[in-house]
Amino acid sequence: MGRGDIGFHKSEANSLLIEHFEKLNLAKGSRVFLPLCGKSRDCEWLLASGYRVVGAELSELAITELFKELGLEPKISKVGELTRYSAKDIDMLVGDVFDVSAEYLGPINAIYDRAALVALPAFIRQQYTSHLMNITNAAPQLLISYEYNQLLMDGPPFSVNENEVKQHYGATYQLKSVDTKNVTGGLKGKVVATETVWLLQKINK
């Protein structure tokens, strides 16, 4: 059974990832960083599509489950404050994303942020975005953000509007909104929300 057929249903990966990932124009074998990835099916889709995946995640349980679902036996090692789970084409760093350094991460060709920026409360987002640019040398990003009336519901995911995305990333990246959709049935079934896909390309200075 080839790696592409690991009982994987495309529908389980984020449709926005599947639809827009090629806009990053990455060569196969490129390393893609997924901050705060959980045991996301997106990892599986990226691996099946021929990319290498690097993730950072707080929950050790999520990562052990991810490897189990991928049918991979991880090599486990300590790097600084973090625990690294590795197998062919996949490296997961378990611990606080702020403990992840450029050295631990290695070279990154692109970032796919589906659940990191929107998962963090406002006061941490500035620190997170600077840290992310710092450790990846501002690699191009596919970023998914939500927008809704924050007074109606508490996050996560939090509402991060266009102004805020620009405030964090506008000085370093050229930002392009490539898609906006209404969240079907509302966010968590509670509140009317839109989901936007951003393509961030480093400005050549």
Q: Which residues belong to the annotated binding site for S-adenosyl-L-methionine?
A: 36, 57, 114
CB 50 within 8 A of CB 28: yes
The 10 Å Cβ neighbour count of residue 4 is 10
Cβ partners under 8 Å of residue 51, min gap 6: 26, 28, 29, 30, 31, 32, 89
Helix (H) / strand (E) element for 32: namely strand 31-35
Measure the CA angle with vertex 176, ends 171 and 182; round to 5°. 125
The token duo for 49 is: 């599509």
Alpha-helical regions (H) of the chain: 15-20, 41-48, 60-70, 102-105, 122-136, 162-169
Binding annotation: 36, 57, 114
The token duo for 172 is: 């370093």
Measure the CA angle with vertex 183, ends 67 and 15; round to 5°. 40
